[in-house]
Amino acid sequence: MTEKLGCTENIGCTPSQTVGPFLSIALPWDDGPELVSADFAGAIRIEGRVLDGAGEPVPDGLVEIWQADPDGRFDHPDDPRGARPGFRGFGRCPTDDRGEFWFRTVKPGPLPAGDGTIEAPHLDVSVFARGLLDRLVTRLYFPDETAQNSTDPVLRELPSADQARLTAQPADDGVLRFDICLQGTGETPFFEL
């Protein structure tokens, strides 16, 4: 077997500087996209697609969400208040052949911001995909929080078109739709880490 850049001829490999395309193998998550059970009070479904700059689906991506529970508490050791029983606060979903992903979760409560203001209910969203040097980070806001969204310290800093791109849209049967465009026209705003 001839070795080339740490890879063998019998094993396919990707450039070491990208985060994909073996995300479903390298980053499994037992609970997958379900942060709550289907019978959890206030459970909602969020669906979307990850699209590349040409508007084509990204079939080998991975989307993660991290969020507070409806009371604004996290399921994390750094939050001593603890989250509601049955709420996990973190989910991970690989994209399918159509670039689609989904999560079952609840709408989080508002959170205090570092400057003394209140952040509107939102999900922190990370996207991993082939060709990316690092994950992309964005947020999902809720369409029924118009008043709180208008005072959110993050949304206030963005142009109205970008605010709209970060706000999920109601779809059929109470599902919320949130598509993520990696670049080009309609690119989702991403945040520097």
- Sorted by where each begins, the domain ranges of the chain are 12-181
* Tokens representing residue 105 in the block: 């979760």
- pLDDT score of 129: 87
Per-residue model confidence (pLDDT) at position 174: 87
- Name the pLDDT band for 25 (thresholds 50, 70, 90): low
* pLDDT tens-place string over residues 78-112: 888 889 999 999 999 999 999 999 999 999 999 98
d(CA 162, CA 15): 32
pLDDT class of 21 with cuts at 50, 70, 90: low
Residue 24: its H or E element? helix 23-26
Instruction: Name the band, by pLDDT with cuts 50, 70 and 90, for residue 3.
Output: very low
Report the alpha-carbon distance of residue 178 to residue 187 in Å, rounded. Answer: 12
Q: Which two tokens stand for residue 111?
A: 């959170």
The pLDDT assigned to 145 comes to 96
Q: What is the CATH number of domain 12-181?
A: 2.60.130.10
Q: Summarize pLDDT for 29-83 with one digit per residue, the tens.
A: 577 899 999 999 999 999 999 999 999 999 989 999 999 999 999 988 888 888 9
Identify the pLDDT of residue 65.
97
Q: What is the pLDDT of residues 153-187, one digit of tens each?
A: 999 999 999 999 999 999 988 899 999 999 998 99
| Structural contact between residues 28 and 89, judged by C-beta atoms closer than 8 angstroms | no
pLDDT surpassing 70 at residue 4: no
d(CA 63, CA 53): 17
